[in-house]
C-alpha cells in the first residue's frame, strides 16, 4: 500500500482528510510520524502558494508522496480577511476560540445580509521529484451572530449554511464532508492521486 504523507499535525484535519479520501488504497501519515522535519514558513500570498511549499518541502524530506493543504475563511465585508491568516488571526496566543471571538467583535454591527463569507481550501501534491499538481475548493455561507455546535474546528461554529439553517459545527461530519471546501478540493486531488498511482505502479 502506497503512503501519503499529509502535511499537518492537526488530528481533526487529518481525520477529515482520511474520511474524504476513502477508497484510494493509501496509508495516510501525519507529520507526527517523522522527526527533525524542516520548518515550512507559510509566507505565501495565496492558499495555493502555501500548500505548494508544504507539499514540495516535505516530499523532498520524506521521499514520499505528500499532500500539502492550506485553508481559511474569507469574509466579504472584511475585504477577504482573515484569509491566509485564518489560523493565526488572533495573534501569537491564537486559538480557535480567540479567532472566533475576534471575528465576532469585528462584525458586531454588521447586519445578516452583509455577513457573506466563503471557506477556501488549496491542496497540493508532490513527490521527491517536485510538484505534481495543485487544486482548490470553495464553500459559501454566512457568519453567524454567535457560535453554534461542537463538531468540526476552526471557524466551523460561526460558518452558517442557509440551506440547512445550521453552522458547520452543527451539521456534523456526514453532511459537512460532502459539501465543504476541503471536500471539493480533495475530490479534485483524489483524481490526481489515482492517476499518479496508475502511472507509478512499478515504482
Residue 60 has pLDDT above 90, yes or no: yes
Domain harbouring 181, CATH code: 3.90.950.10
Q: What local confidence, expressed as pLDDT, does residue 40 receive?
A: 87
Q: What local confidence, expressed as pLDDT, does residue 2 receive?
A: 83
d(CA 175, CA 173): 6
Where b means 16+ CB within 10 Å and e means fewer, 15-36 reads ebbeebbeebebebbbbeeeee
Note down the domain range covering 194.
2-199
Mind telling me the catalytic residues? 70
The number of domains in the chain is 1
What is the per-residue DSSP string for 69-106? Answer: EEEEEEEGGGTT-BGGGGGGTT-TT--HHHHHHHHHHH
Band of residue 202 on the pLDDT scale cut at 50, 70, 90: low
Amino acid at each position: 500500500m502506497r503512503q501519503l504523507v499529509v502535511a499537518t499535525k492537526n488530528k481533526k484535519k487529518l481525520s477529515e482528510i482520511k474520511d474524504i479520501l476513502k477508497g484510494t488504497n493509501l496509508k495516510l501519515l501525519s507529520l507526527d510520524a517523522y522527526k527533525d522535519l524542516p520548518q515550512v514558513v507559510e509566507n505565501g500570498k495565496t492558499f495555493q502558494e502555501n500548500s505548494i511549499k508544504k507539499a514540495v518541502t516535505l516530499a523532498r524530506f520524506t521521499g514520499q508522496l505528500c499532500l500539502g493543504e492550506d485553508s481559511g475563511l474569507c469574509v466579504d465585508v472584511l475585504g477577504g480577511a482573515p484569509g491566509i491568516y485564518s489560523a493565526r488571526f488572533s495573534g501569537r496566543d491564537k486559538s480557535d476560540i480567540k479567532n472566533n471571538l475576534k471575528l465576532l467583535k469585528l462584525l458586531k454591527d454588521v447586519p445578516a445580509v452583509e455577513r457573506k463569507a466563503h471557506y477556501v481550501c488549496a491542496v497540493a501534491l508532490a513527490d521527491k521529484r517536485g510538484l505534481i499538481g495543485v487544486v482548490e475548493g470553495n464553500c459559501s455561507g454566512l457568519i453567524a451572530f454567535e457560535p453554534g455546535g461542537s463538531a468540526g474546528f476552526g471557524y466551523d461554529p460561526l460558518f452558517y449554511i442557509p440551506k440547512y439553517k445550521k453552522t458547520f459545527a452543527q451539521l456534523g461530519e456526514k453532511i459537512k464532508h460532502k459539501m465543504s471546501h476541503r471536500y471539493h478540493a480533495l475530490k479534485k486531488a483524489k483524481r490526481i492521486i489515482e492517476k499518479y498511482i496508475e502511472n507509478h505502479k512499478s515504482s
